[in-house]
Homo-oligomer: A and B are copies of this chain.
Amino acid sequence: MIDHTHNIAATSWVASAAGHPQFPVQNLPFGIFSSAQNPIPRIGVAIGDHILDLSAIADRLDNVAANILTQPTLNALLALPQSVRRALRHQLFALLTDATNQPNLAPYLHSASAAILHLPTRIGDYTDFYVGIHHASNVGKQFRPENPLLANYKHLPIGYHGRASSIRLSGEPVRRPNGQRKSPDGDFPLFGPSQRLDYELELGIWIGEGNALGQPIAIADAGRHIAGICLLNDWSARDLQAWEYQPLGPFLAKNFHTTISPWLVTSEALAPFMTAQPARPVGDPQPLPYLWDATDQAGGALGLVLEVCLTTANMRAAGVSPYRLSQGQASAMYWTIAQIVTHHASNGCNLNAGDLLGTGTISGPTPDSYGSLLELSHGGKTPLTLPSGEIRSFLENGDTISLHASAQRDGYATIGFGECQAVILPAAS
């Protein structure tokens, strides 16, 4: 079925949308914004360098009740069936491509650079997975040299619950955490600022319609529970993690801050960029039937290019451009996002609209695509020398990390995810 909202030739009367690297009219991601004139957070759609205020035009939109579009979060919109958001997308596409709407709608366009963005949902629960197999292997080698990939890894998407309260939007500085660390040869742990602060390149999955407690989600149905995707930086204090993580998993090493990009890039916008899940290496086990669906394998992988850049305080002062630490493919995930969702609900656990699932760090097979400093510096053993001459094993105060994702395919307009960046502040004293 041809969906004309993917037509590369379509253009919007919002001039800045033409050829926009992130937000052409083929993207139309949802978010929450406020403006100086109206400080109430409300739903908007990114279009070029602008945000269209959906709350202000809610009574002209046929497919969604106005009281859902005037909420201060996306939760109610995400709780609707996927077909409703698809219809809304089609109507917005029509409104923004037909120039006769310009006089009526232009008053509700806000400059994105002047707007304040807010968390897109009230995140009820945040779960983080571990499906980047190269990351799991690389990290496993450091934490458990004798046993990097555990026996369960290829049978189920490993995941754990994270902290919802400390998820923050791009732009909010990250305070270096204090915590306990213990060197392998030390007799006692010390308490103080983390010495091994790291980023993790991840994608976030926004849950749409939820499932009732006790009712699993079949793999063939998982797609309709996935509303969209964002960028996610799972900041990690490796020294705290090494000391605390057994036997119940990461805790204070992760829950001090998680940064996400502000826009929910919809499953509808990403449809042309879904690709086949890479074939499992020969010898890998066949997953159990509840995790296996031929359609998902044929088109359930995200075809995105991912990138991480570092800007040190010195570089910023000197006006030097961000340094690219890595670039890779989102398809380097051992499990699809549908498998992640289905596994999460397989025991009856209820997912709710607006919940966020992290994929885990997405590293490619080679060092130029590793998604964390722990991997790039081999646990600090091989520090990186930056073009500025500075050396990094882990992050220093004043460093800014920015994540980028882009969906590119011949014959389609490139769409992006917006900003996911933050600077490191010194630890609380």
Contacts and interface: CB of A to CB of B under 8 A. Distances in A.
Interface of A: 124-125, 130, 140, 143-144, 150-152, 155-156, 158-166, 168, 175, 177-180, 182, 188-191, 213-216, 237, 240, 243-252, 255-257, 285, 288-290, 343-344, 346-352, 355, 428
A243 B346 CA distance: 15
Contacts of A160: 160-161, 248-251
Nearest to A237: B347
B237 A158 contact: no
Nearest to A188: B285
- The secondary structure that dominates the A interface is loop
A237 B347 CA distance: 10
Nearest to A162: B161
Contacts of A166: 213, 349-350
A245 B247 contact: yes
B244 A161 contact: no
Given A248-B158, A347-B256, A243 B152 contact: yes
Contacts of A248: 130, 158-160, 245, 249-250
A206 to B, nearest CB: 15
Given A165-B125, A165-B355, A179 B347 contact: yes
Nearest to A156: B180
A155 B257 CA distance: 23
Contacts of A150: 246-247
A349 B246 contact: no
Nearest to A191: B288
B288 A180 contact: yes
Q: Which of A143, A289, A350 has the most CB of B within 10 A?
A: A350
Q: Give the 6 A-B residue pairs with the shortest CB-CB distance, closest first.
A: A249-B249, A177-B347, A161-B161, A160-B248, A175-B214, A248-B249
Contacts of A216: 178, 428
Number of copies of this chain that the complex holds: 2
Nearest to A245: B247
A198 to B, nearest CB: 14
Contact of A347 (B125, B178, B285, B350): B178
Contact of A168 (B140, B162, B188, B213): B213
Given A150-B247, A178-B347, A213-B256, 20 more contacts: A125-B163, A140-B247, A144-B247, A151-B182, A152-B189, A152-B243, A156-B243, A158-B247, A160-B251, A161-B251, A163-B349, A178-B346, A180-B288, A190-B288, A240-B347, A247-B249, A248-B249, A252-B346, A256-B348, A257-B348
B165 A351 contact: yes
A304 B350 CA distance: 33
A154 to B, nearest CB: 10
18 contacts: A124-B164, A144-B247, A152-B189, A155-B180, A155-B182, A155-B188, A158-B251, A160-B161, A163-B349, A165-B213, A175-B348, A177-B348, A191-B289, A191-B346, A249-B249, A252-B344, A252-B346, A256-B347
Contacts of A190: 288
A183 to B, nearest CB: 12
Given A175-B348, A216-B428, A159 B251 contact: yes
Nearest to A257: B213
A244 B216 CA distance: 18
Given A165-B125, A168-B213, A216-B178, A349 B247 contact: no
Contacts of A240: 347
Contacts of A178: 216, 346-348
